[in-house]
Amino acid sequence: MQIIGEKINGTRKLVAKAITERDASYIQNLAKKQVESGAHWLDINAGTHPSREPDDLIWLIKLVQDVTDVPLCLDSANPQALQMAMKEVKQTPMINSISGEPSRLEGVLPIVAEHGCPVIALCMDEKGISNTADERLQVIQKVFTETRQAGIPDEHIFVDPLVMTIGTNTEAGNIIFNTMRLIRREFPQAHISCGLSNISFGLPVRPLINRTFLVLAIEAGMDTAIIDPTDRSLQAAIFAAELLLGKDRHCLNYTRAFRAGKLEIALEKSG
């Protein structure tokens, strides 16, 4: 399982404040904590202010690279910001994201192709997000036609089926699991990723819903996730799920995690 750390996101209040005030140590702490907790990539989102985004993104990239060695996942739809960011990164970053929307394909796909970046591809187009797994597959099939034409190998594509809120549509979970199964079958070389937190929006005990959703998604074929890597019960659930799905030879990762004290959170007195 590849973990993309979600915490450096300018749509979060305290991160937005740190960006505005140029509070370097707040951002660098978020980076260090996530990497120590096992993040393989760090998502970097400078917020949604178009005129400030390029400068803010560059500032974030430099800070994070000063304290960690993991590759970055540049969370931006702005081709100018991405173009500038490509000059600053020390390692090839993942790009978050393209979709079936023509403007995204035109603006971002050439950058992805030129630099050989892995890229997250959202299952949506200019008509929005469909409510059926079949239609989400159709949308992503069109995206694969474009990425293949641009010479991007399928294994560089991280398909994101786009998680919606279970509170407003109780099929939102099934739509995701079904879409993941279809993608696994149709594009076996591609990765499957998603952001979890939308699933539980508006409901109580969100961490419980998020980690149960994550386990079911792993079973449906997900191999990458944008999560809070410092959430220890989420990490513990990943170790157990991969163990149970035959993805942990000789139970090595699970027992190692246990010895490192990473599973204690799941130990509860049974009376």
* Binder of ligand THG out of 1, 3, 5, 9 (CB under 6 A): 9
Alpha carbons 211 and 182: distance in angstroms, whole number: 22
Minimum distance of ligand THG from residue 194's CB (angstroms): 6
Q: Which of 108, 120, 172, 214 is the binder for ligand THG (CB under 6 A)? A: 120
Looking up tokens 């010895």 gives 259
206 binds ligand THG (CB under 6 A): no
**Within a 10 A sphere around the Cβ of 172, how many other Cβ atoms?**
18
Check residue 12 for interaction with ligand THG (CB under 6 A). yes
Q: Is 99 in the site for ligand THG (CB under 6 A)?
A: no
β-bridge mates for residue 74, sequence order: 44, 95
Applying CB under 6 A, among 5, 54, 93, 195 the residue interacting with ligand THG is 195
What number of CA atoms fall less than 13 Å from residue 8's CA on the CB side?
36
Which span (2-10, 48-56, 213-221, 249-257) binds ligand THG, by CB under 6 A? 2-10
User: Quick check: 6 binds ligand THG (CB under 6 A)?
Assistant: yes
Which 14-73 residues touch ligand THG, going by CB under 6 A?
Answer: none
Closest approach, Cβ 239 to ligand THG, in A, equals: 20
Buried b (16+ CB within 10 A) or exposed e, 57-70: bbbbbebbbeebeb
Interatomic CA distance for residues 148 and 169, integer angstroms:
34
The distance of closest approach from Cβ of residue 255 to ligand THG in the complex, given in angstroms and rounded to an integer, is 29
Site for ligand THG in 227-256 (CB under 6 A): 228
200 near ligand THG, rule: CB under 6 A: no
Pick from 34, 68, 96, 99: which binds ligand THG (CB under 6 A)?
96
Residue with token string 């199964």: 181
Residue partners of 34: CB distance under 8 A and separation at least 6 = 5, 7, 8, 42, 229, 230
Residues 6 or more apart from 244 whose CB is under 8 A from it?
none
- Pick the binder of ligand THG from 68, 76, 97, 147 (CB under 6 A): 97
DSSP H or E stretch at residue 216? helix 206-219
**Shortest CB 192 distance to ligand THG, Å:** 12
Residues that bind ligand THG (CB under 6 A): 6-7, 9, 12, 75, 96-97, 120, 160, 163, 194-195, 197, 226, 228
